[in-house]
Amino acid sequence: MPTKPKLNSDEILKAEYDYIASTVFQANEDRSRVASFYFVSVGSLVAAILSAIFSTNDLKNVSLAFSGLFVVLTILGVLTLAQLARLRAAWHESVQAMNEIKDFYIKHNRKIEPAFKWRLKTLPPTDKPYSIANLMAVEVALLGAITSAAAVYFLLAAFGSIGWWGRVLLAVTLLTGYVALWAWYKYLLVDNQ
C-alpha cells in the first residue's frame, strides 16, 4: 500500500501567499507599462503629425490621413483603458486572495491580528478615487477624448473651413469622448468579469 505524502499546510499556504504576492506586483508593473506605452505612442504620433503640418503647404490634402491616425490613437486609448481596468481588477482579486489567507491565520492565531492593516473588510475599493490607477485612467481618458476631437477636427478640415458649428461639434466630441471613455473604464473595472 503506497504511503500518503506528508503535507505541511503552512508551507502550502506560504507558497500560495508568495504566488499571490507576485501576481499583485506583476499587475502593478503591467499597469505602469501599459500606460507608458500609450503615452509614448500618442506623443510620438502627435509630434510626427505636427512636424508634417509645419512642413506642408496644403493641409487639406493630408487632413484625411491625420483624421485616420487620430481615430487609431483613440482606439489605442480605448484598448489601454480596457487593459488598465482589467489589470486593476486583477490586482484587487489577488489582494482579496491574500487577505483570505491572512484571515485564515488570524482565525487560528488571534495574537497576529494587529499586524495586518488591510483585511477583507478594509481593502481599498477597485475604483478608489485619486489612486495612481484611477489617475492613470483619467489621463488616458483625457488623451483619448482629445484624440477623438482631433480626428473630427481633421475630418472637418478635409472638407473645408471649420465654422462656429464645427467648434461646437469639437467641444461636444471632446466632452462625449471623455464621458464615454470613463464609462468604459468603470464598466470594465468590476471584479470577476
Q: What is the pLDDT of residues 103-113, one digit of tens each?
A: 888 888 888 78
Q: Give CA angle at 163 (159, 166), nearest 5°.
A: 75
Query: Into how many domains does the chain fold?
Result: 1
For cell 495586518, the residue is 116
Q: Residue 192: its pLDDT value, please?
A: 52
Look at residue 77 and tell me whether its pLDDT is greater than 60. yes
3 in a domain, yes or no?
A: no
Range of the domain at 63: 9-188
Q: Classify residue 107: in a domain, yes or no.
A: yes
pLDDT of residue 193: 45
Beta carbons within 10 angstroms of residue 56's beta carbon: 11
C-alpha of 104 from chain center: 32
**Quick one: pLDDT at residue 4?**
66
Rounded to two decimals, the pTM is 0.78
